[in-house]
Copies of this chain bind each other. A is one copy, B any other.
Amino acid sequence: MNKLVVVGSVALDSVEAPGGQHHDILGGSASFFATAASYFTQPHLVAVVGSDFPRQHIDFLRERGIDLTGLEQVQGQTFRWKGRYSNDLAHRTTLDTQLNVFAGFQPKLPESYRDAELLFLGNIEPSLQLEVLAQVRRPRLVAMDTMNFWIEGRPEQLHTVLAKIDLLVINDEEARQLAREHNLPRAARAILALGPKTVIVKRGDSGALLFHDGSVFVAPAYPLEEVVDPTGAGDSFAGGFMGYLAREGSLGPQSIRRAMIYGSVMASFSVEAFSLDRLRNLTPHAIEERYRAFCDLTHFGQVSF
């Protein structure tokens, strides 16, 4: 078992989707990531919330076994995001973003986190990602996410971080934007030239692509008939991916591929309900059952390697 640390946001989301409207529900990249990862390992979380953050959410995260030593609670309001999905769930509009206490976030890793073997830098300002990187001793794998806002607004800092990390998890549109290249395999190659040894391109209901060491792996998305709330799917993917690697200990190519599938499993659960409600009470059996469904979805008597 490897120690896994995640740094990111813990937020209160307001979401409008065809399935309903919900106000101030638990959200944020670190919440989704850590909850998904908690089914495989004990994630160690670094984030900040305000004095208004509901006690029940902290209790929930703790009950999931997540180490909250790195969760600061400070005076002020918690980070809030408000968004609306189109009727077909294919488009999302951000209606409001209030950084609140997140604006002053200075991530500090507790001493007990600094020997982390696996580190996930959630989607925060690249200069903060760099500060976190400076606080870990000898991680085996550093992965990160980012977004269009930093690609446009902080390109130099972002490139500095990219040169120092091992693995970038990014969605398709952002990969194209970062690489200035529409073709995804070419975009991935351009991103690999910036530093990371591995790039994972998330494509929503088209699955995810892994580019590593000249080889490509395709993980499908699970063909769900009912998608309720896509918020947090990418973070749940990353949490399942990194959580599985932490549990296995191995970072070999076969483990990375299976981690892609466990990431896809956790993302597929995540979108079945609002907030991270579907991730509250999963069983190991349900996770293994869906993993087997991914096997069934993709096998055709492959030549084994």
Mark A residues whose CB is within 8 Å of B.
Answer: 87-90, 182-186, 189, 203, 205-207, 209, 215-220, 223-227, 254, 257-258, 260-261, 292, 295-305
Contact = CB atoms under 8 A, between A and B. Distances in A.
A304 B303 CA distance: 12
Nearest to A188: B223
B305 A223 contact: no
A87, A182, A206, A224 — which one has the most chain B CB atoms within 10 A of its CB? A206
27 contacts: A87-B182, A88-B182, A88-B183, A183-B226, A185-B223, A185-B225, A209-B223, A216-B223, A217-B297, A217-B298, A217-B300, A218-B223, A218-B297, A218-B298, A219-B300, A254-B300, A254-B301, A257-B301, A258-B301, A260-B300, A295-B302, A295-B303, A298-B298, A298-B302, A299-B305, A301-B304, A302-B302
Contacts of A296: 215, 305
A216 B268 CA distance: 15
A141 to B, nearest CB: 18
Given A182-B90, A297-B218, A300-B261, A225 B189 contact: yes
Contacts of A261: 300
Contacts of A257: 299-301
A178 to B, nearest CB: 16
A233 B56 CA distance: 53
B299 A292 contact: no
A265 to B, nearest CB: 12
Give the residue among A261, A300, A302 with the most B Cβ atoms within 10 A. Answer: A300
A118 B205 CA distance: 32
A-B pairs with lowest CB-CB distance, top 9: A206-B206, A88-B182, A218-B220, A257-B300, A295-B302, A299-B302, A185-B223, A295-B303, A185-B225
B218 A207 contact: yes
A274 B297 CA distance: 33
